[in-house]
Each structure stands twice: as structure tokens, then as C-alpha cells.
Amino acid sequence: MAKAAKAVQTSAERRPKLAGRSLKAGNVTLTPAEPAARLALRAPQASIAALSKALGVTLPQTPKSSAVSKDGARTALWLGPDEWLIVAPDGTDLAGEAAGAGALHAAVDIAHRNAAILVEGAGAQACLAAGCPQDLSPAAFPVGAVSRTVFGKAEIVLVRTGEDAFRVEVWRSFADYAWTLLAEAARDAGQ
């Protein structure tokens, strides 16, 4: 019965949260990150080696750290002793790759759960310090450092991607709040 009407529409348009926004205030720029593949990966210690191999990136085991694949295309963020967030180019079948490891794990596709905001510039650290209570100085939070933390009233995953560059991963419905607070904080980040 339903088959006659097939193929009305073959592909829905993708409308990423924050698409089209950008902001430059003082010494801070805010840019929405490109859409990406994201995997919530949970696994016991015994599976780490196999999963690292299957995913092409060494799963970090040091708290608050991250690892980047050889080609630089994918990142594994340490969130807990058995928990990682894997970020890779949009469309990568991370769950499928993880399944190939043949090791005990749980993989859940969360590509659309998060939006990401790139916070860059000389004032980036001060901008984040408006809402994140952690010590974000390069000594305490060096390039590559990761933390699941708060920014104002939103939970975020914060990654330092460069001396003056951070990536803020935030749940989709909190992205507007995080962006707006970052934009407010950016006005004050030169002080």
C-alpha cells in the first residue's frame, strides 16, 4: 500500500545548530565547528589496545588528556577511566570500526548530540574563564588537555587545541546558551 508513493524525497537537508554564526569581539573569535562524527565509547582496560588499533587512534589513559591519530583527522578525548569521546570527519563510521575490534565495548553514535564551538585568539582563555571554574592556564591545562566541565550553567567538554585555541563540545540544545555566554564574555576578555 505504501510502496506506490515511495521516493518523494530522497535526502533531507542537514541544518546544523549554530550554522552561519560567527563572532569576532576584541581578541576572541567564535566559530561553529564543522559537522563531525562523534562516538561515545565505553570499554574496559582489556579492550583498549584492540579498540585503539581498530579506530586508528590511541585511546588515552591519562586523565584529562587527548590523543590525535597519525593523520591528524581524528581525536580521542579522555572523559573517564572507561570513557572516551571520539571525534572524526563527518560521515566516518566510527561505531562500525569499533565493532571490528572484536573487543568488549559499547559504542553509541552521538554525532548530532553535540555542537562544537571553536574559541580562538589571545583572549580565548579569559573568555572561557568567565564561566569555567577550572584553572585553564597553559601549565595546568596544556594543549591537548580535555575536561568534561561546566561553562556557566551548561555542561561542556573542553579541549585546548592550541596555545590560544579551544574547542567547546556542548549538547545541541545548550549550544545557543554557550555561544551567547561566550559572546558576552568575549567583550570582556581583553581585560
Partner 1 sequence: MGAVFAGRRLMAEAYRISGVGRLDEAQPVGFTFDGKSYGGSAGDTLASALLANGVHLVGRSFKYHRPRGIVSAGAEEPNALVGLHRDAARKTPNVRATVQELYNGLAAVSQNRWPSLGFDVGAVNDLASPLFPAGFYYKTFMWPKSAWTSLYEPRIRAAAGLGVAPDKPDPDRYSARYAHCEVLVVGGGAAGIAAALAAAQSGVRVILADEQAQPGGAMRFERGAVIDGQAGWDWTQEAVARLARMDNVRLLTRTTAFGYYAQNFVALAERVSDHLAEPGDLPRERLWQVRAKKVVLATGAIERHMVFDGNDRPGVMLASAARTYLNHYGVAVGRHVGVYTANDSAYAAAIDLKRAGVGIAAIVDWRDNPRGGVVEEARALGIEVLHGRGVATTGGRRRIASMTVVPKAGGGGRVVPVDALLMSSGWTPSLHLFSQSRGKVAFDAVGQRFLPGTYAQDCICVGAGNGTDDLATSLREAFAAGEKAAREAGGDGGDKVSRPRVEASESWAGGMLGAGPGAGSGTTVKAFVDYQNDVTAKDIRLAVKEGMHSIEHVKRFTTTGMATDQGKTSNLHGLAIAADALKKEIPEVGLTTFRAPYTPVTFGAMVNHARGPLFEPTRQTAMHGWHEDHGAVFEDVGQWKRPWYYPRPGEDMRAAVARECRTVRAAAGIFDASTLGKIEVVGPDAVRFMELLYTNPWAKLAPGRCRYGVMLREDGFLYDDGVVGRLAEDRFHVTTTTGGAPRVLHHMEDYLQTEFPHLDVWLTSTTEQWAVIAVQGPKAREIVAPLVEGIDLTDEAMPHMSVREGTICGVPARLFRMSFTGERGYEINVPADYGEAVWEAVWAEGEKHGACAYGTETMHVLRAEKGFIIVGQDTDGTVTPDDAGLGWATGKKKSDFVGIRGLKRPDLVASGRKQLVGLKTKDPQTVLEEGAQIVADPDEPVPMRMLGHVTSSYWSENCSRSIALALVADGRDRMGETLYVPMPDRTIAVEVTATVFFDEKGERVHG
**Interface with partner 1 (CB under 8 A):** 1-3, 5-17, 35, 40, 42, 44, 82, 104, 106-114, 126, 129-135, 137, 140, 152-154, 171-174, 176-177, 180-181, 184-185, 187-188, 191
**What is the rounded (10 degree) CA torsion for 102, 157, 36, 30?**
-170
Q: Which is nearer to partner 1, 1 or 71 (CB)?
A: 1
Quote the least distance from Cβ 175 to partner 1, whole Å. Answer: 10
Quote the least distance from Cβ 38 to partner 1, whole Å. Answer: 9
Name the residue with cell 506506490. 4
Q: Which is nearer to partner 1, 68 or 184 (CB)?
A: 184
**Angular region, 136: left φ>0, alpha ψ -120 to 50, beta rest:** alpha
Quote the least distance from Cβ 71 to partner 1, whole Å. Answer: 25
Give the separation between CA 86 and CA 99, rounded to whole angstroms. Answer: 14
Quote the least distance from Cβ 19 to partner 1, whole Å. Answer: 9
Q: Which is nearer to partner 1, 31 or 68 (CB)?
A: 31
Quote the least distance from Cβ 135 to partner 1, whole Å. Answer: 4
Q: Which is nearer to partner 1, 72 or 191 (CB)?
A: 191
Q: What is the DSSP string of 117-181?
A: EEEESTTHHHHHHTT--S--STTTS-TT-EEEEEETTEEEEEEEEETTEEEEEEEGGGHHHHHHH
8 A C-beta contact, residue 56 and residue 101:
no
